Amino acid sequence: MHDKTLAELARSLDAGEFSSRELTQHLLGRIDRLDGELNCFITVTFDQALAAADAADKSRAAGKAGPLTGLPLALKDIFCTRDVRTTAGSRMLDNFISPYDATVVEKLATAGTVSLGKTNMDEFAMGSSNENSHYGPVKNPWDLAAVPGGSSGGSAAAVAAGLVPAAIGTDTGGSIRQPAAFCGITGLKPTYGRVSRYGMIAYASSLDQAGPMARTAEDCALLLSAMAGHDLHDSTCVARGVPDYTEELDTPLAGLKIGLPREYFGDGLAPEVEAAMRDAVKAFESLGASVREVSLPHTHYAIPAYYVIAPAEASSNLSRYDGVRFGHRCDSPSDLIDLYKRSRAEGFGDEVKRRILIGTHTLSEGFFDAYYKKAQQVRRLIRQDFLDAFEEVDVLMGPASPTPAFDLGAKKDPVSMYLQDIYTIAINLAGIPGMSVPAGFVGNRPVGLQILGNHFAEARLLNVAHQFQQATDWHRHRPAFAEENA
């Protein structure tokens, strides 16, 4: 059962091969048996999952099942979930039990999905390796010595290891696409505003976006159809109809115009990763697509602009964690200032503190215009680069990361870690959709092809990815860890 995709599981449930309860019990058993080695989950919701599975089975028996009814998944521990601990991977929220559901959680529950628990993540989504979690690093099931990527590393590793068929992540600068690439699964970051951020613990409010992570583009299409849509609770959520993202999956790619940004194939890209990307592009050409080189001239400004804007927004968003209203509170404070200082010093990890300090500095008097305002101006130029490119081509393609997954502990300094996101960050600055699909291996470690589209072109991206997956089998490979623990 754990080797099936969401779409395959749905067909099996419809055919009566097994019940949602049987499927849920099987996956909960795998989590209980295997997650001690991987550390994908912070919280496993055994009782709630079985209750939801029973409700799904009743709906199916009554003829009221939808496309996702009874299908298990996991939620990144950044989504508020009613009566469930929600930590954002931080000691600061270690004891926080959410009193309400995030809109994404509510929509997926309404669609009949069964949440098995909350997955591990870099603290407050700040990281590219899942080594910044208060609850310890996640291990990559393809190679237990490697990172799974971040910040949605727990979600990606859980899907790759067959603990769940799908999971929900968030992407602020690549945190769905990069771990999807490192773990050999499919991950989609939708257009900014396509999915509600209400109840999603904020890192950088103008960049954060929730998205699906699964084995195939078809599965991501099923999930996005349920997740997307306007939400009055989120003023940044776009009032726009939601299509059935599965309808266009089988559209042929004849006539598709693909752009290869020359800035994505230069210095810093591992030769083996570039070779895998070139081979993937040849597969698209065999499907009838044409390929041309394009330019995104401001790409090299993306990382410095991002690491001004994102920390600035983080310093504002995280100011609410002060030891007074909720979250970690230090013992025996001498006065209010001592309470603030020690609660925040004890509750936040090093990377979060680093970004708060950077953000507070760039927003301070005398530095706002020189840093934050300038970064926003650069952001506008980066966005225009993409808009200009989409005047020439339908989609852009390139690597999701310059290397395959690196070893745990290999990136000691922050700058080398930040450079891992060189191909993903600009997409968040521009607000466009992007996804990563499995496209090969370097040794035993997967690499991902990144596919980018214009605003609200998710259906086209999913179609392109699905056709690639019909012509290749990279997404069907399973890590030895999963095979040995079938």
**Active-site residue set:** 76, 151, 175
Q: Name which of 116, 112, 141, 124 is nearest 38 in CA terms.
A: 141
Separation of first and last alpha carbons in the chain:
10
The string of DSSP letters for 448-473 reads: EEEEE-STT-HHHHHHHHHHHHHH--
Residue labelled with tokens 């999913």: 462
Quote the distance between the C-alpha of residue 217 and its chain's center: 14
**Contact predicate 289/256, CB 8 Å:** yes
- Whether residue 290 is preceded by a cis peptide bond, meaning omega within 30 degrees of 0, is no
CA angle 413, 418, 423 (to 5 degrees): 150
Calculate helix-pair angle for 458-471, 271-286, nearest 10 degrees: 90
At 297 the three-state DSSP class reads coil
Contacts 24+ apart (CB under 8 A), 66-69: 66/111, 66/112, 67/10, 67/111, 67/222, 67/225, 67/226, 68/6, 68/10, 68/108, 68/111, 68/112, 68/113, 68/222, 68/223, 68/226, 69/13, 69/20, 69/111, 69/112, 69/113
Distances (CA, A) of 396 to 112, 259, 399, 427: 34, 5, 10, 11
Q: How many CB atoms lie within 10 A of CB 398?
A: 23
Quote the distance between the C-alpha of residue 383 and its chain's center: 21
Distances (CA, A) of 115 to 24, 68, 330: 9, 12, 33
Residues in the chain: 486
**Contact predicate 173/148, CB 8 Å:** no
Quote the distance between the C-alpha of residue 445 and its chain's center: 19
